[in-house]
Amino acid sequence: MNSSFQAQTRLSIALVLALFAPAALVAQQSKPWEKIPIPKLHEFKPHQPIRIELKNGIVIFLQEDHELPFVSGSVMIPGGSRDESPAKAGLVGLYGQAWRTSGTAKMDGDALDDLLEAKAAHIETGGDEDSTAVSWDSLKGDADQVFSLALDLFLHPKFSPEKLQLAQQQEATGIVRRNDDESGISERESAKLVYGINSPYTRQPELATIGAVTVDDLKDWHDRTVGGKLIVGISGDFDPAAMEAKLRAAFESLPQVKPTPIRHDTFIGPTPGVYFIDKQDVNQSDVEIVGIGIDRHSPDVPAVAVMNEIFGGGFASRLFQKVRTELGLAYEVGGGISFGYDHPGPFRTVVLTKSATTVDATKAALAQIAGLNTTPFSEVELARAKDNILNSFLFRYDTRDKVLAERERLEFYGYPADYLETYKAALEKVTVIDVTEAAKKYIHPDKLAVLVVGNGSEIKPGLDDLNLGPVHPIDIAIPMPARPGTGEKQQ
Amino acid sequence: MHSRLRITALALGIAAAAFGTARAQDLKSFEQKITTKVLPNGLTILICERPDAPVFSYSTFIDAGDVNDPSGESGLAHMFEHLAFKGTSQIGTTDYAAEKVALAKVEEANAAYEAEYLKPVGRDEKKLAELKKAFVEATDEAHKFVVPNQFTDIAERNGAEGLNAQTGLDETEFFWSMPENRLELWAYLESSRLADTVPREFYKERDVVIEERRMRTDSNPEGRLFEQFVATAYVAHPYGRSGIGWPSEVSQINATEAMEFHKKYYVGANIVVAVVGDVKASEAMPMLEKYFSRVPAGPKPEEMTTVEPKQFAEKTLEIRDPSQPIYMEGYHRPDYRAPDNAVYDAISDIMSNGRVSRLYRSLVRDQQIAAEAEGVSPYPGDKYPSLFVFFAAPLPGHTPQEMRDAIHKEIEKLKTADVTDDELAMYKTRTRADLLRGLADNQGLANDLAEYQTRYGDWRELFLQLDKVDKVTKADIRRVANQVFVTGNRTEAWIATAATAAQKAAAGKDGGAQ
């Protein structure tokens, strides 16, 4: 039962001197820490993986790392839940489970479990918003066998009705439990406000849609996606020449990859207003103030990242200083614009506060958002934010696994391999003017939705006191299918 | 050693025990990389050289947690942890001499307010309001000297990554990672906050901690269940007490109490600091010694006398709650030093680890009554006699009672028949592999080394545990199961879903369920 000082789930990424000047500007008698020498950092060049592009378009990354006797790998496949049919929402989640638990014609999933676990090895499959993957890891001595099994699973999956049903039961349990957790509700519903209820990025699996998924749907999905541009990544204790030969033998004979279809999604952001979800078994409100963010391709990303840091990043951020440190209104508070790699992420500001201070905390957070356009950014804030980001930038590539994961990500979304370097250089050049312009361009307090999940009987003063117009209740009742099926009748 | 109850996307999950060890040459290779030194004040510094990238991680491990909160002050250790981010006499203040005077006045004002507030009879509401006003004025006065969040600001500007702390029942840990050229700056910051804590902004931070309680416990069905479960299972030992603190107590903790806790528990003999990364011990140790010698010496705090008495009757607890059903049960077991410690880990592994585990195969795969089912230990802590806990999240339409019956059947099998050779071998193999996997992460390694150094007096035990793992036999498992998993030693608790008043009123209107 641990409790920690800093909330674990802070948003993406400080002190506003204009607001907190009285104390901060008085000279301190001495700052002994400023006299401590900071030597030159030891020379470091992140170890880049070897990149091999096969004739058919499949890309392989090999990242050697001999520290420990393990080998791990993955095959990433384009296409994810945003590409599934709305009537079968949840298909990719079911596919991610049943693919592995079903196994192959040669070895079913249960036998695979027995074999792998005896070796402390793993093969897993999973589905995400924009991709699916099969991944594996094992001790070095078992690496050949485990790779063969993973390859067999990739090439010859079986998809059994029993394992699909098992996955459907698990998903159904998740669905009927999804309103138990307050922060789960607010994350889900705020995303719907940003992207729309029927958006491919937020539509949620229901008992009816997961019940509609068949074994044939899983097979079709597999056949449709595995011909895409695969990215194969291997890391660990192996010989690169031998590994390359093995991977070529496995993947070079596959057909030319099909290009990933381009999506044409529209992103208009939320309908401004106040939204409320009543949850009677809580004494704390979960407030989310949301709007539409930007795509990582935008040239404004470095300036926005610095703005995020000033606004809601670290302990010295405006939000944290005001809402947590000065007002004591929240344990968890944070916010910023997030960047999708190929679509706009949301702008989210989150505050958790006791029911009675819901309006106060919401107003305080809204004031900080508005302040991004009205309270000038100072050079001190800029320097602090850049220090925060740049001095910890190293931790994006301080292990070989992180370097590999980053290269795979860049490859998947079509970014240049030196993206992190150019991004870092751009961050270094961000000025106060850049941040001010970015705030002007992307912070629109009149285009935000305020969602409160909390105990209506305790929220006094009520949300009307926000003076943001009528409060729109959101119904989160879980639709129960009429006929008995996957989802049995809820008590 | 990690016994942290965590909440998974679905229901609850428990961090797997990371016990185990590698082969002898791994211990040998670590002996070459690790340097330890006990300073004259009793504080132990441990450096593990791992120069792959120019970074380091550290863990400061205090052998005191909320189990050490004095009676009536539950949540104190955690409250102090928050205080340790508020700066020192040098960091976070514009004028410490003046601030110190102002802070003393805050304490006086708070004491006067509390004395009136707690009067059993004859409380004067008008006077109480005045005292409250005086208290607010005193805190405002003290606040004038504060440079907010300066401690964390210095750390973050210098590249601190993953800056955090956590208070468990048994220990308090502070940790982050940094570029290696900030090692001395870190040593200054960390030793300062250990040695020179100032009760700055204490009462505002108390409000923050109460919000943390609302988030983790009050507004979370699992949080509510866990708190009631341990409170039911324990009658004497403080493991049964709310770790984050009972609302009435945590809301009345004062800075004087927090500083007394600091004085008693934040002494050299009670602290291990582990640093892992691009650090040369021969160069760094003298520098670290200089800084960490500032931590006061002091006797190792006396050990707790309370031992949970033998449970003599089964206990059950039903929580009627609007959330979905969960079942859990616990059996008292000995502490981590028990000769059978590895046997409990073996049982946990065989019952719960992955899709081959007995509970998964029985309750999830074959009977199809649960979405998740596990049995793990130790919980809620590991230093003192704890619980072996089973839990399950039923599928829709299935009940906590079905979970209980199915779990009991699996326990019965453990008692009446030996586990298979394959199961036992699998436990040993996985334990060894998990230990090895954990060695790749600076922060995880720093935490483990500091913890083992504290709990066993020697970090080598992280590796030597394998001997005990290897010695576990089928007969041991059967013997321990028969000793521990008995009715009179059991506490059962479950959430029985009950509609809220509003849901009852709305029932039948649209057929929806919430």
Q: What is the DSSP string of A335-400?
A: EEE-EESSS--EEEEEEEEEGGGHHHHHHHHHHHHHHHHHSPPPHHHHHHHHHHHHHTGGGGSSSH
pLDDT per residue as tens digits for the range B385-430: 999 999 999 999 999 999 999 999 999 999 999 999 999 999 999 9
Q: What is the DSSP string of B466-486?
A: HHHHHH--HHHHHHHHHHHS-
Tell whether A253 lies on the interface with B, counting CB pairs under 8 A.
no
pLDDT tier, A413 (very low <50, low <70, confident <90, very high otherwise): very high
Tell whether A101 lies on the interface with B, counting CB pairs under 8 A.
yes
> What is the percentage of chain A residues whose pLDDT exceeds 70?
92
End-to-end CA distance of chain B: 38
Answer for the pair B14, B6: CB distance below 8 angstroms, yes or no: yes
pLDDT at residue A488 above 70?
Answer: no
**Which residue in chain A is spatially nearest to B163 when comparing CA positions?**
A6
Interchain contact, B204 vs A491, CB within 8 Å: no
Q: Which CATH number fits the domain A267-473, given the four candidates 3.40.640.10, 3.30.830.10, 3.40.50.10710, 3.40.50.2000?
A: 3.30.830.10
pLDDT at residue A20 above 70?
Answer: no
Edge to edge, what strands does the sheet with A3-4 contain?
A: A3-4, B161-167, B172-179, B55-62, B271-277, B44-49, B34-38
pLDDT of res. B501: 61
Encoded amino acid at B497, one letter? T
- Helix (H) or strand (E) holding A126, with range, is strand A122-127
Tell whether A475 lies on the interface with B, counting CB pairs under 8 A.
yes
Average pLDDT over residues B461-469: 94
pLDDT of res. B503: 62
DSSP state of A108: B
Interchain contact, A172 vs B244, CB within 8 Å: no
Show Cβ contacts of residue B91 under 8 Å, excluding neighbours closer than 6 positions: A33, B147, B150, B151, B154, B189, B192
**Which residue in chain A is spatially nearest to B189 when comparing CA positions?**
A33
DSSP state of A157: B
Strands of B350-410, DSSP E: 370-379, 386-394
Residue with tokens 């002050």: B73
Edge to edge, what strands does the sheet with B326-333 contain?
A: B315-321, B490-497, B326-333, B386-394, B370-379
Q: Is the bond leading into A39 cis (omega within 30 degrees of zero)?
A: no
Spatial separation of the C-alpha atoms in residues B512 and B497, rounded to whole Å: 15
pLDDT per residue as tens digits for the range B173-203: 999 999 999 999 999 999 999 999 999 999 9
Interchain contact, B148 vs A488, CB within 8 Å: no
Tell whether A120 lies on the interface with B, counting CB pairs under 8 A.
yes
Answer for the pair B463, B435: CB distance below 8 angstroms, yes or no: yes
Answer for the pair B64, B171: CB distance below 8 angstroms, yes or no: yes
Answer for the pair B349, B247: CB distance below 8 angstroms, yes or no: no
Interchain contact, B5 vs A1, CB within 8 Å: yes
CATH 3.30.830.10 fits A50-251, yes or no: yes
Question: How high is the mean pLDDT of chain A?
Answer: 92
3-class DSSP state of B293: coil
CA A393 to chain centre: 19
Residues of A in contact with B202 (CB under 8 A): none
**Which residue in chain A is spatially nearest to B399 when comparing CA positions?**
A491
Answer for the pair B201, A34: CB distance below 8 angstroms, yes or no: no
Spatial separation of the C-alpha atoms in residues A66 and A4, rounded to whole Å: 35
> How large is the ipTM?
0.90
pLDDT at residue A22 above 60?
Answer: no
Which among B10, B143, B164 has the least Cβ separation from residue A6?
B164
- Backbone phi, psi, residue A427, to 5°: -60, -40
* Nearest 10 degrees: Cα torsion A180, A182, A183, A184: 30
Question: How high is the mean pLDDT of chain B?
Answer: 92
Average pLDDT over residues A212-234: 97
Q: Is the bond leading into B378 cis (omega within 30 degrees of zero)?
A: yes
| Numbered ranges of CATH 3.30.830.10 in chain A | 50-251, 267-473
pLDDT per residue as tens digits for the range A110-166: 999 999 999 999 999 999 999 999 999 999 999 999 999 999 999 999 999 999 999
pLDDT per residue as tens digits for the range B426-445: 999 999 999 999 998 999 99
CATH 3.30.830.10 fits B5-19+307-445+457-503, yes or no: yes
C-alpha distance from B313 to closest chain A C-alpha (Å): 25
**Which residue in chain B is spatially nearest to A353 when comparing CA positions?**
B211
pLDDT at residue B2 above 80?
Answer: no
pLDDT of res. A14: 30
Interchain contact, B396 vs A173, CB within 8 Å: yes
CA angle B59, B63, B67 (to 5 degrees): 125
pLDDT per residue as tens digits for the range B150-165: 999 999 999 999 999 9
Q: What is the DSSP string of A29-46?
A: S--GGGGS--PPPPP---
C-alpha distance from B74 to closest chain A C-alpha (Å): 13
Interchain contact, B354 vs A117, CB within 8 Å: yes
Token duo for residue A12: 């993406």
pLDDT per residue as tens digits for the range B95-138: 999 999 999 999 999 999 999 999 999 999 999 999 999 999 99
**Which residue in chain A is spatially nearest to B141 when comparing CA positions?**
A23
Spatial separation of the C-alpha atoms in residues A459 and A451, rounded to whole Å: 14
Burial call A88-103: b when 16+ CB within 10 Å, e when fewer: bbbbbbbbbbbbbbbb
| Numbered ranges of CATH 3.30.830.10 in chain B | 5-19+307-445+457-503, 33-292
3-class DSSP state of B125: helix
Interchain contact, B184 vs A36, CB within 8 Å: yes
pLDDT of res. A12: 29
Q: Which CATH number fits the domain B33-292, given the four candidates 1.10.10.350, 3.50.50.60, 3.40.50.720, 3.30.830.10?
A: 3.30.830.10
Residues of B in contact with A39 (CB under 8 A): 181
Answer for the pair B18, B1: CB distance below 8 angstroms, yes or no: yes
pLDDT tier, B502 (very low <50, low <70, confident <90, very high otherwise): low
Interchain contact, A20 vs B434, CB within 8 Å: no
pLDDT at residue B212 above 80?
Answer: yes
pLDDT per residue as tens digits for the range A263-306: 999 999 999 999 999 999 999 999 999 999 999 999 999 999 99
